[in-house]
């Protein structure tokens, strides 16, 4: 099973879509709200160089934004 972390904020529609996608495919994930967790926000910025969300960490592979094709590939989910 993939280890998935997702960095989000509550006002981000793409974050909601990414989480819904993971839930629909029964992929467990850890959700970090960077609007309330400064440590996770700093961690995300250090890893990506950006402050845009969502950021997904799938088994160490970083995907910035809700790029369903990249997420599918990283998780081995066929379209």
State pLDDT tens for residues 10-60: 999 999 999 999 999 999 999 999 999 999 999 999 989 888 999 999 999
Question: What was the pLDDT predicted at 79?
Answer: 80
Question: What was the pLDDT predicted at 13?
Answer: 97
Going along the chain, which residue ranges are E strands?
4-8, 30-33, 55-58, 61-64
pLDDT at 1 over 80: no
31, 9 Cβ separation under 8 angstroms: no
Task: Name all domains of the chain by residue range, CATH numbers in brackets.
Answer: 4-75 (3.40.30.10)
Question: What was the pLDDT predicted at 78?
Answer: 86
Q: Helix, strand or coil for residue 55? A: strand
66, 54 Cβ separation under 8 angstroms: yes
Nearest to 54 by CA among 18, 1, 3, 4: 18
């Amino acid at each position: 099973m993939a280890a998935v972390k997702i960095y989000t904020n509550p006002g981000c529609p793409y974050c909601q879509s990414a989480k819904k996608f993971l839930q629909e495919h029964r992929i467990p994930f850890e959700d970090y709200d960077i609007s309330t967790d400064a440590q996770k926000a700093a961690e995300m910025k250090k890893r990506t160089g950006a402050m845009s969300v969502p950021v997904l960490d799938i088994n160490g592979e970083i995907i910035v934004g809700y790029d369903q094709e990249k997420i599918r590939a990283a998780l081995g989910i066929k379209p």
